[in-house]
Amino acid sequence: MKVAVVLSGCGVFDGAEIHESVLTMLALVRAGAEPEFLAPDIPQAHVVNHLTGQVAAGENRNVLVESARIARGKIKDIARANPEDYAAVFFPGGFGAAKNLSDFASKGADCQIQPDVLRFAKAIADAGKPACYICIAPAMLPFVYGRGVAVTIGTDTDTAAAVTAMGGQHINCPVKEFVVDTERKVVSTPAYMLAENIAEAATGIEAAVKATLALI
């Protein structure tokens, strides 16, 4: 059972959240699924020094190349991936989901999704295959599934308001739980939008992964 895991770089502040990405992969493998990593071959929105939290002026990195760090080199350009090859898709969070896969971090409710990512996500949705969006990644859901899609990013009021403005039906959710839109086969969980440690993030992610695989 091959599933896609879409990454957005490497590092919480400018790419994929590493804990969330690894926890997702671990939960998938333990459940008997075969994860395959994908990422867009595009420049990062910017590069952040994770020691200082400051933008590294003049430094440029590529989302696919940086994502390969987490994937141990085994990763595909999402533009070349065939959605028909996968039984489900998983989107770990991290600011990369809101800076590279979309521009939600800078434009909020007026954001757009990177075209290759949107094409792939919509193909999965149109085929009726399940999807799991983690942390801030669920902010993309209204663009993929349309108005009324049930979604959670936890309990952050401002982010929830932006998701609602885009047409999502936001549902507050504790860190160790998840929300399921059964009609659309979409699962979302807050992870580090709320988690205070890796164990809390793991509980919610593992539960969300299990729920997503059950929809296949």
In the chain the domains, ranked by start, together with CATH numbers, are 2-214 (3.40.50.880)
211 burial type by CB count under 10 A (0-12 exposed, 13-18 middle, 19+ buried): middle
- Helices 63-70 and 18-30: crossing angle in degrees, nearest 10, is 50
Q: Give one DSSP letter per residue of 78-115, joined into a string.
A: GGG--GGG-S-EEE--SHHHHHTSB-HHHHGGG--B-H
pTM equals 0.98
> Over the stretch 42-92, which tens digit does the pLDDT of each residue have?
999 999 999 999 999 999 999 999 999 999 999 999 999 999 999 999 999
E runs forming strands in the chain: 2-6, 34-39, 75-77, 89-91, 131-134, 150-151, 169-170, 179-181, 186-189
Residue 63 · residue 41 · CB < 8 Å = yes
Cβ count within 10 A of residue 65: 15
Residue 165's pLDDT band, with cuts at 50, 70 and 90, is very high
What pLDDT shows up at residue 200?
Answer: 98
Pairing of the two strands 186-189 and 169-170: unpaired
What pLDDT shows up at residue 173?
Answer: 98
Residue 22's pLDDT band, with cuts at 50, 70 and 90, is very high
* Long-range contacts, 155-164 (Cβ 8 Å, 24+): 155/190, 155/194, 156/193, 159/193, 162/104, 162/108, 162/109, 163/138, 163/139
DSSP state for residue 119 in the 8-state scheme: H
The CA R_g of the chain, rounded to the nearest whole Å, is 15
- State the Cα–Cα distance between residues 159 and 163, nearest whole angstrom: 6
What pLDDT shows up at residue 171?
Answer: 98
Active site residues: 135
What pLDDT shows up at residue 199?
Answer: 98
